[in-house]
């Protein structure tokens, strides 16, 4: 093989197209220039089993951060987590 | 097909041939639960890929092609990743996967740019502004080298499934 595969981004972001809560998280991820992989799920809440498997709930947004081992739902929580972890004056 | 008239011939194209490297691309790849951007090269690195271009989800060729591939289930006997690509949206792909009860992931390429890259564009008569991929099958090894290719020459036209099976048997290890 001529080149090594690109590393998987550490953050996986489960989102719904046009969901304002998800866009709020997108803005924060972009603000901190974080590398993430977007996984878009179903509008139908009852069909979001993939999200339920990772977070225990069917709500989006949800993120999985391999860097810290954190899995989290609810945009306000996620934004606070990103600010604390990757923002100015963060511990990271 | 046995018809007493000629079906529409499609113009010859300069699509990639056996021995060529299949053009790489990244598009949303849809499974039954979600979609995410994935490149063809990422997939090919894992195992040989059968890349199946097909007309938009919902028309009868799409149904016929996926019923046939699903029933033949080459992936059960050989190390092969069977992947589709059409201009349909991820939402339509999810419905197709569900309706056809199929285990294959599908690339979504609404702008038809992947078909342009492969020179297999089919401009649809009577649907202004709509063009899609003509049916085509590319079997790629792990370096994305094309081991077998079939591209529709008529409209409609269907893969030679037995030839695809033979090509898979020649290229892919058995499971």
Q: Note whether A42 contacts B: Cβ–Cβ < 8 A.
A: yes
**ipTM surpasses 0.90:** no
* H runs (alpha helix) in chain B: 40-46, 60-72, 74-77, 90-99, 113-118, 161-171
Rounded to two decimals, the pTM is 0.91
Q: Is the pLDDT of residue B92 over 90?
A: yes
| Fold of the CATH domain B46-171 | Glutaredoxin (3.40.30)
Choose, out of B28, B29, B33, B46, the residue to mutate when testing the contact with A (most A CBs < 10 Å).
B33
Residue numbers in A near B90 (CB within 8 A): 40
Q: Note whether A37 contacts B: Cβ–Cβ < 8 A.
A: yes
Domain chopping of chain B, boundaries: 46-171
Mean pLDDT, residues B17-30: 98
Q: Report pLDDT for A6.
A: 60
pLDDT tens digits for B33-90?
999 999 999 999 999 999 999 999 999 999 999 999 999 999 999 999 999 999 999 9
pLDDT tens digits for B98-116?
999 999 999 999 999 999 9
Q: Which two tokens stand for residue B170?
A: 């020649």
Mean confidence (pLDDT) of chain B? 96
């Amino acid at each position: 093989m001529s080149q090594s595969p690109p590393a998987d981004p550490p953050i996986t972001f489960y989102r719904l197209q046009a969901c304002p809560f998800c866009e709020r998280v997108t803005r924060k991820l972009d603000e901190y220039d974080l590398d993430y992989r977007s996984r878009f799920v179903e509008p139908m809440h009852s069909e979001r089993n993939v999200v339920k498997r990772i977070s225990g709930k069917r709500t989006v947004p949800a993120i999985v951060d391999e860097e810290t081992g954190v899995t989290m739902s609810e945009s306000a929580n996620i934004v606070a987590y990103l600010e604390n972890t990757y923002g100015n004056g963060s511990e990271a | 097909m046995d018809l007493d008239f000629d079906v529409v011939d499609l113009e010859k194209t300069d699509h990639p041939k056996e021995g060529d490297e299949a053009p790489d691309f990244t598009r949303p790849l849809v499974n039954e639960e979600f979609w995410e951007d994935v490149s063809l090269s990422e997939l090919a690195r894992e195992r040989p890929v059968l890349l199946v271009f097909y007309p938009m989800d919902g028309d009868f060729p799409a149904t016929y092609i996926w019923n046939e591939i699903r029933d033949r289930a080459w992936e059960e006997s050989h190390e092969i990743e069977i992947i589709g690509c059409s201009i349909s949206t991820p939402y339509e792909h999810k419905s197709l996967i569900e309706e056809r009860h199929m285990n294959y992931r599908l690339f979504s390429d609404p702008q038809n740019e992947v078909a342009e890259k492969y020179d297999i564009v089919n401009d649809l008569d009577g649907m202004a502004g709509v063009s899609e991929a003509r049916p085509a099958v590319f079997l790629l090894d792990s370096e994305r080298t094309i081991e077998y290719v079939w591209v529709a020459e008529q409209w409609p036209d269907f893969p030679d499934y037995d030839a695809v099976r033979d090509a898979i048997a020649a290229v892919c290890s058995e499971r």
